[in-house]
Amino acid sequence: MPSKSLRHRIAIVFVGLLVLVMGLVLALVHRSSERIVARETQRELAVGANVFQRLLEQNQRQLETAAAVLAADFAFREAIATQDQSTVRSVLRNHGQRIHAQVMMVTGTDGRMIAATQSGFAAGDPFPFPDLLAAAEAQGRSAGFRQMRNGQLYQVVLVPIMAPARIAWVAMGFHVDDRWAHVMAGVTGLGVHIVRAGSRDALASSGPAPAADGADVAAVDVPLDGGLQAVLQLPVAQVQAPFGQLQGRLLGMIVAAVLVFALGSVMLAGRIVRPLNDLSAAARRIALGDYARPLPPAQGDEIGQLTASFEQMRTEIANREERIVRLAYVDALTDLPNRTRFLEAFGRLTPGMGGAVLVVNVDRFALINNALGHVVGDRLLRAVAGQLRPLVPAGGMLARLWGDQFAFLLEGADGDAARRFADTALAALRDPVTLDGQRLDIEAGVGIALYPDDGLDAATLLRRAELALAVAKRRHSGVACASDAGGEPAHEQLSLIGDMRRALAAGEFTLAYQPKLALGSGRIVAVEALLRWQHPERGSIAPARFIPFAEQTGFIREITPWVLETAVRQAAVWHAAGLDITVSANLSTLDLLDPHLGRRVRDLLERNKVPARRLCLEITESALMDDPALAHAHLDELAALGVKLSIDDYGVGQASLAYLKILPVDELKLDRSFITAITESPRNAAIVESTIMLSHALGLTVVAEGVETPAELDWLREHGCDIAQGYGIGRPMPAAQLQAWLTEFAAGTTA
Ligand code: C2E
Ligand code: MG
Ligand code: MG
């Protein structure tokens, strides 16, 4: 983790610097204390040696004084002069005890002993230190360190006894032993060892034997007479001790400081790094698309400023993202999710759970839109969204796909549940909507496709649901399932296409003609050719069953030429018979997009000598919308021939009147669903009425489809509709029956 290492780095740099500085200080202190120790050692040695020498001198003087006092003693001199041995010895002993001298001797000027306190000396023995005697004779007195015969060392002085001429010498000495060395050591503060020059065997020593001059002991040699020397030693450690202590304390303080510093810098680094960590965690969250969590409030320092900027960035990204998501995923009109969002939501369905896609379409929306204006249309869509929105179950979704097409996604729903839901949705939509004081009754259709039975991906399911919706609309059943719309298994469909080809060749297709009544004149002015399939086994198959399939498979391209040919031939027959009747034929999308359509129609008309205005071609809105530019071009071509053009099933699809205005269209066929019960539904009435008015304003003839009752017929006549078609006037019939029917009809209406 980089932040952790940053924290460590900060701490390491701080502590490292401190350790470096402290190390330098320590090294410096160590070096100077070493120097001081060396100097101090030398100084202490010098002072000690000086004191040592002074002590020796002092001892010597003490001995000399004592000896002089003794030599001046009259009784003592008398005793010597008289050779009174015992008196001499007792005086010597007393005197010696008083001054703590261990050696007390008297010797004659001839070098022979007179008396001694020491055992082992007899009168007449030679004086043990003739060199001292010689020196004293030369200088008047002498002193020095001498070893007795027993090996013990003494500091000895020799002073003359004068009466008044020199009559004898008195020698006095202090025992130079370990105790003596100890006392000397106590005064000088140094280790005192008396050795013979060149040897290390101590004759007297204040402590352990003198070490060879080494690192831990400093020493100075003080030469004594008689080939002796005093080695004065100072243990360096003793000088070093206070410095060592000082350094130890310093080291302790440094260690404590480093620890405190380390702790402090770790804490400081933590304080610096924590907000950075927070920031990088927030950055990671933002990278993952989570903009919701705000950052902790910023402090006033630089990191605080960074946090504040970051926070501002987060809110701005969140706002922008929200706007983008809205643009990309939300339908601006209804605030519902759009198609893209819907497809995405489908992708999140739990596999194995099942589900349903329901496509809901408002009946005749385009018509309402055209008749009452886009503003009303938009408000209607919002109202529909408002009615459907509360129905969305948890985990489900409602989206507006386009126009008046809404879709529900129901997770985990099976066929029954989806159907129940569809009924609920339709029931909810039946609540009337009031817009601008106008009450609008909405009706709708629902197409259902089930996952995974009807498809595995959203696009397929939506297509299947839309096909089902078309079926629902055709059947006026409100709800239909994908399985109802071309739900046959593929092999059956394949057999159907083979069947159609065979049927065409075998003449199983026929055309039935349904009359179109001009309401003004009461005359039948036209007939619509409708395809009929008399299947040898299945019986009569309605066009709704096979035409969508023929369109899907492209087989319609073989059917339409036959339809056109048959219809035009029939028109020629009626024309020749003097009947003034226009024949309508239906075209599919593929037909309209066929580049040879115009030429083929022209050839047909020419060949059969039928005037172009005797042929009308009915085109559905969806056919126009597939490729509007190409459709437009082909319509222009057909119009140029003089052929009439009609918009079929107007109001079911999305085409607007404004769009139709720019097309060379003559006729508008209002879909059956508007006409049904027109006399009972004021809303339908209002829509049809305004559509008629608008169409007339655009110069279009209005045809009402599916007119079944006289009341509807009357209503249409009253409201200026031009032409009516429907079972109420006449059912589709074979061509052969038409003439008889026309006669009968004319009789009926005139009667
Ligand atoms: P369409 O072109 O809108 O034809 C009118 C349909 O309404 C016909 O159904 C007709 O029988 C039916 N109809 C007429 N008056 C009434 C009425 O008063 N009440 C009721 N309930 N229905 C009425 P049909 O013949 O089943 O045709 C259905 C559709 O099939 C046609 O609708 C048309 O889109 C298509 N179609 C029929 N023949 C052809 C054809 O030769 N070529 C193409 N491409 N499509 C065709
Ligand atoms: Mg038609
Ligand atoms: Mg129609």
What is the DSSP code string of 610-631? --GGGEEEEEEHHHHHHSHHHH
Contact 219, 210 (CB under 8 A): yes
Any idea what DSSP says for residue 350? P
Tokens of 338: 């759009």
**Dist. CA 567–CA 561, nearest whole Å:** 10
687 CA distance to ligand 2 centroid (A)?
A: 21
Q: Is 586 in the pocket of ligand 1 (CB under 6 A)?
A: yes
Position 393 scores a pLDDT of 92
Contact 354, 451 (CB under 8 A): yes
Which residue's CA is minimally distant from atom 20 of ligand 1? Answer: 706
Check whether 1 has a pLDDT greater than 60: no
Q: Is 618 in the pocket of ligand 1 (CB under 6 A)?
A: yes
Beta bridge partners of 166: 162
Mutate which of 517, 584, 586, 708 for ligand 1 pocket (most atoms within 8 A of beta carbon): 586
Give mean pLDDT, residues 617-623. 88
Give mean pLDDT, residues 536-541. 84
Contact 479, 415 (CB under 8 A): no
275-279, 496-500, 534-538, range with the lowest pLDDT: 496-500
Nearest to 652 by CA among 470, 422, 509: 470
Position 278 scores a pLDDT of 82
Position 328 scores a pLDDT of 86
Q: How confident is the model at residue 13 (pLDDT cuts 50, 70, 90)?
A: confident
Place of tokens 């020199």: 166
Give mean pLDDT, residues 347-358. 84
* C-alpha angle 151-157-159 in degrees, rounded to nearest 5: 140
Complete domains list, the chain, with CATH: 27-254 (3.30.450.20), 339-485 (3.30.70.270), 514-529+554-750 (3.20.20.450)
User: What tens digit of pLDDT does each residue of 468-527 get?
Assistant: 998 888 777 889 998 876 654 444 555 677 788 889 999 999 999 999 999 999 999 999
Which residue's CA is minimally distant from atom 46 of ligand 1? Answer: 586
Check whether 291 has a pLDDT greater than 50: yes
Position 721 scores a pLDDT of 97
Q: In 704-734, which positions are buried (b, 16+ CB within 10 angstroms) versus exposed (e)?
A: bbbbebeebbebbbebebbbbbbebbbebbe
Beta bridge partners of 703: 669, 723
81-95, 285-299, 311-325, range with the lowest pLDDT: 285-299
Which residue's CA is minimally distant from atom 11 of ligand 1? Answer: 732
Q: Is 253 in the pocket of ligand 1 (CB under 6 A)?
A: no
76-85, 204-213, 329-338, 416-425, range with the lowest pLDDT: 204-213
Percent of the chain's residues with pLDDT above 90: 33
Q: How confident is the model at residue 2 (pLDDT cuts 50, 70, 90)?
A: low
CB atoms within 10 A of CB 281: 13
Sheet holding 397-402, edge to edge: 397-402, 405-411, 355-362, 444-451, 479-481
* Single-letter amino acid code for the residue at 342: F
555 CA distance to ligand 1 centroid (A)?
A: 19
Mean pLDDT of the chain: 87
User: What tens digit of pLDDT does each residue of 186-241 get?
Assistant: 888 888 998 888 777 888 888 876 666 556 888 888 888 888 888 888 888 888 88
| Higher pLDDT pick, 652 / 48 | 48
Contact 740, 535 (CB under 8 A): no
Q: Is 543 in the pocket of ligand 1 (CB under 6 A)?
A: yes
Dihedral over alpha carbons 334, 338, 339, 341 (to 10 degrees):
-150
Alpha-helical segments (H) within 338-414: 339-347, 365-372, 374-388
Question: Before 164, cis peptide (omega within 30)?
Answer: yes
Nearest to 117 by CA among 95, 139, 134, 150: 95
Contact 419, 447 (CB under 8 A): no
User: What tens digit of pLDDT does each residue of 57-112 get?
Assistant: 888 888 888 888 888 888 888 888 888 888 888 888 888 888 888 888 889 888 88
Q: Is 566 in the pocket of ligand 1 (CB under 6 A)?
A: no
Q: Is 708 in the pocket of ligand 1 (CB under 6 A)?
A: yes
Check whether 292 has a pLDDT greater than 90: no
Q: Is 259 in the pocket of ligand 1 (CB under 6 A)?
A: no
| Higher pLDDT pick, 237 / 641 | 641
Place of tokens 């083929």: 600
Q: Is this prediction's pTM over 0.75?
A: no
Q: How far is CA 577 from CA 338, 570, 581, 739, in A?
A: 58, 11, 10, 10
* Single-letter amino acid code for the residue at 322: E
CB atoms within 10 A of CB 542: 12
Contact 588, 551 (CB under 8 A): yes
Contact 143, 63 (CB under 8 A): yes
Contact 322, 335 (CB under 8 A): no
Cα 514 from chain centre:
69
Position 492 scores a pLDDT of 52
* φ, ψ for residue 720, nearest 5 deg: 80, 15
Q: Which pairs with CB-CB distance under 8 Å and at least 24 residues apart come from 624-632?
A: 624/592, 624/655, 624/659, 624/663, 625/653, 625/654, 625/655, 626/589, 626/593, 627/593, 628/659, 630/593, 631/592, 631/593, 632/662, 632/663
User: What tens digit of pLDDT does each residue of 665-724 get?
Assistant: 999 999 998 898 888 888 889 889 999 999 999 899 999 999 999 999 999 999 999 999
**Dist. CA 542–CA 532, nearest whole Å:** 7
Position 585 scores a pLDDT of 98
Contact 245, 215 (CB under 8 A): no
Position 211 scores a pLDDT of 65
Nearest to 226 by CA among 145, 141, 134: 145
672 CA distance to ligand 3 centroid (A)?
A: 7
3-state helix/strand/coil string of 68-99: HHHHHCHHHHHHHHCCCHHHHHHHHHHHHHHH
Q: Is 594 in the pocket of ligand 1 (CB under 6 A)?
A: no
Q: Which atom of ligand 1 is nearest to the CA of 732?
A: 11
613 CA distance to ligand 1 centroid (A)?
A: 22
* φ, ψ for residue 487, nearest 5 deg: -80, 5
Contact 513, 529 (CB under 8 A): yes
Q: How confident is the model at residue 622 (pLDDT cuts 50, 70, 90)?
A: confident
Check whether 345 has a pLDDT greater than 50: yes
User: What tens digit of pLDDT does each residue of 18-36 get?
Assistant: 889 888 988 998 899 889 8
3-state helix, strand, coil in the chain (%, to 5): 55, 20, 25
584 CA distance to ligand 1 centroid (A)?
A: 11
Distance spanning both ends of the chain, measured CA to CA = 100
Question: Before 452, cis peptide (omega within 30)?
Answer: yes
Dihedral over alpha carbons 200, 204, 206, 208 (to 10 degrees):
40
667 CA distance to ligand 2 centroid (A)?
A: 12
* C-alpha angle 643-560-612 in degrees, rounded to nearest 5: 15
Pairing state of beta strands 433-435 and 202-205?
A: unpaired
Position 555 scores a pLDDT of 86
421-435, 643-657, 660-674, range with the lowest pLDDT: 643-657
